[in-house]
Amino acid sequence: MNLDLSGRKPDLDAAREAYDAYTDSQAPRALRKRSLDRFGYQGLVLARASELPAPLPLGHFLRQFGQSDRETIDGGRTVATVPQILAMFNGPITHAMLERGSAIAEQIADKPPGEAVDVIFLTILSRRPDAEDRSLALEAIETAEDAATGHGNVIWALLNTREFLFVQ
């Protein structure tokens, strides 16, 4: 199957611009901040963890998942907690993935269900769906009130698998 990835290009360019602005130590702080805010969602900067200022404030998604506060050596944790799951269920980072305007939602908006399922699996789990996954996802999309809701349900479900959570 052929995925049309050309639609992603402008996003990559914009991300590069933001990255350049952020890493340019000569740029005034305010300017760097503004360019990062273009990738903002509900007060969160959407960028790689390594490009965000550290430590992030207590309660930030990354701190919830155990990011160090950098007060002591080896201050990070990898412990499972309920607030992590609540954030995966219903937090702004998950909502950012579900709403129009996110790269994934734009990619699949007008695709037939079969292709949309491939995009969702490759984006979130970095693999193609097997036959059972595919029929499950297709059923979820086709029985939903509308395509966007169906897509949202599948995206949400994949984000809330252990397969997504753990590096293999």
Partner 1 sequence: MRPPRPLPEPPCPRREALARLARTTLGVTLGGRLAAAGQARAADGPKASAVITLWMLGGLSHIDTFDPKPGREEQGPTETIRTNVPGIVFGAGLRRLAAMADRLTILRALTTQTGAHEQGQYLMRTGYEPTSLVRHPSMGSWMLHATGHTGDLPGFALVGDPNHHPGCGFLDTRLSPLAVSDPDKGLQIARRPAGLPAPVLDRRLAIAQRIDRSFHARYPDAGVAAYDEMYAEAVKLLGSDDLGAFDIALEPEAVRKRYGETRFGKGCLLARRLVEAGLCAVDVDSNLWDMHFDMFQEKVFPAAIDAVDRGLSALLDDLAERGLLERTLVVLATEFGRSPRINSSGGRDHHPAVFSGLLAGAGVKGGMTHGASDERGFRPDADAITIADFNATVAAAAGLPYAKDFFAPNGRPFKIGGGGSPVREVLA
**Of 116, 134, 124, 119, the residue nearest 156 (C-alpha):** 124
Binding mask 137-166 for partner 1 (x = CB under 8 A): x--x------------xx-xxx-xxxx-xx
Choice between 12 and 54, CB closer to partner 1: 54
Query: What is the rounded CA–CA span in Å between residue 16 and residue 84?
Result: 30
Nearest 5 degrees, angle CA 120-CA 125-CA 129?
Answer: 65
Binding mask 119-138 for partner 1 (x = CB under 8 A): -----------x-xx--xx-
Burial 143-161 (b: 16+ CB within 10 A, else e): eeeebbebbbbbbbebbee
Choosing from 4, 69, 106, 142, the residue that interacts with partner 1 (CB under 8 A) is: 69
Segment holding 132, helix H or strand E: helix 131-142
Query: What is the rounded CA–CA span in Å between residue 80 and residue 73?
Result: 21
Binding mask 16-55 for partner 1 (x = CB under 8 A): ----------------------------------------
Choice between 39 and 156, CB closer to partner 1: 156
Q: Which residues bind partner 1 (CB under 8 A)?
A: 58-59, 63-64, 66-69, 72, 75-87, 89-91, 95, 130, 132-133, 136-137, 140, 153-154, 156-158, 160-163, 165-166, 168
